[in-house]
Amino acid sequence: MTQTYKHKDYYLCAYLILNGCPLKDQYRLNGATVFTFERTDKLREHVAEFFSKNSNVDAYEYSKTVRNLKNIIHLNRTTAYNTVLTPNHGERTNVKQTEGTIL
Protein backbone atom coordinates (compact mmCIF):
# COMPACT_ATOMS: atom_id res chain seq x y z
CA MET A 1 0.00 0.00 0.00
CA THR A 2 1.31 3.43 -0.93
CA GLN A 3 1.88 5.81 1.96
CA THR A 4 0.69 9.36 1.56
CA TYR A 5 1.87 12.76 2.75
CA LYS A 6 -0.92 15.21 3.57
CA HIS A 7 -0.55 18.92 4.22
CA LYS A 8 -2.69 22.08 4.34
CA ASP A 9 0.12 24.59 3.58
CA TYR A 10 -0.37 25.50 -0.07
CA TYR A 11 2.99 27.30 -0.20
CA LEU A 12 4.76 24.06 0.68
CA CYS A 13 2.53 22.11 -1.69
CA ALA A 14 3.31 24.52 -4.55
CA TYR A 15 7.02 24.00 -3.86
CA LEU A 16 6.57 20.21 -3.95
CA ILE A 17 4.66 20.35 -7.24
CA LEU A 18 7.35 22.54 -8.83
CA ASN A 19 9.95 20.01 -7.77
CA GLY A 20 8.22 17.10 -9.49
CA CYS A 21 6.03 15.68 -6.72
CA PRO A 22 2.62 15.11 -8.33
CA LEU A 23 -0.48 16.07 -6.40
CA LYS A 24 -2.47 12.86 -5.90
CA ASP A 25 -5.63 14.22 -4.30
CA GLN A 26 -7.19 17.13 -2.44
CA TYR A 27 -10.24 17.35 -0.23
CA ARG A 28 -11.93 19.58 2.34
CA LEU A 29 -11.57 18.77 6.04
CA ASN A 30 -12.98 21.01 8.77
CA GLY A 31 -13.04 24.02 6.46
CA ALA A 32 -9.51 23.57 5.10
CA THR A 33 -8.24 22.00 1.89
CA VAL A 34 -5.84 19.10 2.45
CA PHE A 35 -3.41 18.25 -0.36
CA THR A 36 -2.18 14.66 -0.72
CA PHE A 37 1.09 13.44 -2.23
CA GLU A 38 2.73 10.03 -2.45
CA ARG A 39 5.27 9.73 0.38
CA THR A 40 8.71 9.18 -1.15
CA ASP A 41 12.32 9.89 -0.19
CA LYS A 42 12.37 12.63 -2.84
CA LEU A 43 9.33 14.28 -1.25
CA ARG A 44 10.94 14.15 2.21
CA GLU A 45 14.08 15.81 0.84
CA HIS A 46 12.03 18.59 -0.74
CA VAL A 47 10.05 19.17 2.47
CA ALA A 48 13.33 19.45 4.42
CA GLU A 49 14.72 21.87 1.79
CA PHE A 50 11.60 24.03 1.97
CA PHE A 51 11.69 24.37 5.75
CA SER A 52 15.48 24.86 5.86
CA LYS A 53 15.07 27.98 3.67
CA ASN A 54 17.87 26.67 1.40
CA SER A 55 15.66 26.10 -1.63
CA ASN A 56 15.52 27.82 -5.00
CA VAL A 57 12.63 27.92 -7.43
CA ASP A 58 11.68 30.15 -10.33
CA ALA A 59 9.65 32.93 -8.71
CA TYR A 60 7.22 33.29 -11.62
CA GLU A 61 6.49 29.56 -11.84
CA TYR A 62 6.12 29.37 -8.05
CA SER A 63 3.61 32.23 -8.01
CA LYS A 64 1.61 30.57 -10.84
CA THR A 65 1.49 27.30 -8.90
CA VAL A 66 0.40 29.07 -5.70
CA ARG A 67 -2.40 30.77 -7.68
CA ASN A 68 -3.48 27.41 -9.10
CA LEU A 69 -3.64 25.90 -5.61
CA LYS A 70 -5.68 28.88 -4.39
CA ASN A 71 -8.07 28.22 -7.29
CA ILE A 72 -8.40 24.61 -6.12
CA ILE A 73 -9.17 25.82 -2.60
CA HIS A 74 -11.84 28.15 -3.98
CA LEU A 75 -13.32 25.40 -6.16
CA ASN A 76 -13.47 23.12 -3.13
CA ARG A 77 -15.56 25.72 -1.32
CA THR A 78 -18.07 26.06 -4.14
CA THR A 79 -18.41 22.67 -5.86
CA ALA A 80 -17.17 19.08 -5.84
CA TYR A 81 -14.22 18.99 -8.21
CA ASN A 82 -11.35 16.57 -8.41
CA THR A 83 -8.37 18.57 -9.59
CA VAL A 84 -5.07 17.16 -10.70
CA LEU A 85 -1.97 19.33 -10.79
CA THR A 86 0.91 17.99 -12.78
CA PRO A 87 4.53 18.63 -11.87
CA ASN A 88 5.04 20.51 -15.15
CA HIS A 89 4.43 23.92 -13.63
CA GLY A 90 0.88 23.76 -12.46
CA GLU A 91 -1.09 22.77 -15.53
CA ARG A 92 -4.50 21.76 -14.32
CA THR A 93 -7.30 19.43 -15.33
CA ASN A 94 -10.66 19.77 -13.58
CA VAL A 95 -13.04 16.85 -13.55
CA LYS A 96 -16.50 17.48 -12.15
CA GLN A 97 -17.72 14.54 -10.13
CA THR A 98 -21.38 13.87 -9.37
CA GLU A 99 -22.48 10.88 -7.31
CA GLY A 100 -19.47 8.74 -8.22
CA THR A 101 -19.67 9.42 -11.98
CA ILE A 102 -17.17 11.47 -13.87
CA LEU A 103 -18.81 13.86 -16.31
The predicted structure's pLDDT at residue 78:
61
The parent domain of residue 12 ranges over: 4-102
Q: What is the mean pLDDT of the chain?
A: 80
pLDDT in tens, 16-66: 999 999 999 998 888 888 999 999 999 999 999 999 988 888 999 999 999
Higher pLDDT, 98 or 34: 34
CB atoms within 10 A of CB 23: 23
Instruction: Give me the amino acid identity at 88.
Output: N
pTM for this entry: 0.71
Average pLDDT over residues 80-91: 48
Dihedral pair phi/psi, residue 96, rounded to 5°: -75, 130
d(CA 26, CA 9): 12
Domain tally, the chain: 1
pLDDT in tens, 6-17: 999 999 999 999
